[in-house]
Amino acid sequence: MSPAFLAYIGDAVYELYVRTCYLLPPRKVGVYHNQVVAQVRAETQAKALQKLTPLLTTVEQDIVRRGRNAATGCPRRLKPEIYQQATSLETLIGYLYLRDTERLSELLNILIT
């Protein structure tokens, strides 16, 4: 599968995971939304990838590299390397969602703690 497809899936999976993490304690929707948006921003995703990088297997590092190389069309507000790192994380999440959900859970739990 293409890195763009994996990043597309990974983006959705990551946002859903973050949303479920913020369900408790109950909050007003606006507060909830702001917290989720802060976590799924490209800048935050780039930092998350940096946190996970030392823990990745060789195969996972290759997926990250493929995601970084496939990142195109960077928004103006972002530096290209930040956008590439965020896309790389989304690519990895998409790959693990389709191939190894246990490993995906392990890595996502590291990001939340």
- Angle in degrees, CA 19, 24, 26, rounded to 5: 100
Q: How many CB atoms lie within 10 A of CB 53?
A: 14
Q: Would you say residue 70 has pLDDT above 90?
A: no
DSSP code of residue 22: T
Q: Which of 10, 36, 26, 14 is nearest to 92 (CA)?
A: 10
Under CATH, domain 3-112 is a member of which superfamily? Ribonuclease III domain (1.10.1520.10)
Q: Would you say residue 29 has pLDDT above 90?
A: no
Amino acid at 10: G
For residue 13, what pLDDT is reported?
98
- Residue percentage of the chain with pLDDT more than 90: 68
For residue 74, what pLDDT is reported?
73
- Give the catalytic positions in this structure: 11
- The domain ranges of the chain are 3-112
